[in-house]
Amino acid sequence: MSSEELARKLQRRLDAEQRDTKPGSPAQTGADEEQPPPERPSTAAVNGDASSELTEKLNRRLDIHDGTAKPKQMKVFNPYTEFKEFSRKQIKDMEKMFKRFDSGKDGFIDLMELKLMMEKLGAPQTHLGLKNMIKEVDEDYDGKLSYREFLLIFRRAAAGELQEESGLMALARLSEIDVSTEGVLGARDFFEAKVQALSVRSKFEAEIREEQEEKKRMELERKQRRAAFKELQSTFCS
């Protein structure tokens, strides 16, 4: 059974449950009889191309629908450690772009904000096209892009995992963020990319040192300007 077929069957089950719980439906004739909860498809029952990860996500969707889902423990997201294939400059450029189009300042890019982004980039999309763009990287099924999911777009573009004519590919190509000349961005296999990412570690550390030296230099110049101003001020006052 393919993963798409499994997803369709689970969706049909959800739709059937929603119809059965409506007042006056045949499922309500049992009055106060408590109905057993729907069975969850086990990972062992999924074969072929369906992965255990997909099964876990679909099971969680059923739990959320039934109100039995346990809250997930939030993990601290560090883009510099998770997306090691990108340089600090590239990640900072992506963060600036994300914040520029996050007009609601809620840490997400929703459908309307994505619509505005694509129009600004000169690649407007249809409503269905925008929904498909979000769906392709929407790991938590909330219908919007988090900062981490936004970075996934560039990871998949660099690894050659996006269709050439897709909306996400247009976003990555037109963003003016160079993801083709640094690090391991030409690698098509992610595991190979992770191995090669070790070679850019020294460059990553050098960029941090360069930023620190730049801050020190700016602080020194600020102190020198203040000292010169005070000296000039004392000359006029004497």
Q: Where are the domains of the chain?
A: 79-174, 183-220
| Phi then psi dihedrals of residue 146, to 5 deg | -85, 170
> What burial letters (b/e) apply to 80-96, b meaning 16+ CB within 10 Å?
eeebbbbbbebbbbbee
Confidence check: pLDDT of 198 > 50: no
Confidence check: pLDDT of 189 > 50: no
Under the banding of pLDDT at 50, 70 and 90, the label for residue 123 is very high
- Averaged pLDDT for residues 155-166: 91
R_g over Cα of the chain: 26
Under the banding of pLDDT at 50, 70 and 90, the label for residue 236 is confident
**Angle between the 201-237 and 88-101 helix axes, to the nearest 10 degrees?**
70
Decide if 124 contacts 112 (C-beta within 8 A): no
One-letter amino acid for residue 143 of the chain: G
Under the banding of pLDDT at 50, 70 and 90, the label for residue 37 is low
Q: Which CATH superfamily is domain 79-174 in?
A: EF-hand (1.10.238.10)
Query: Please, which residues have CB within 8 angstroms of residue 21's CB and are 6 or more apart in sequence?
Result: 27, 28
Query: CA angle at residue 131 from 63 to 69, to 5 degrees?
Result: 10
Residue 184: the pLDDT is 42
- Averaged pLDDT for residues 153-160: 93
Query: Coil, helix or strand for 108?
Result: strand
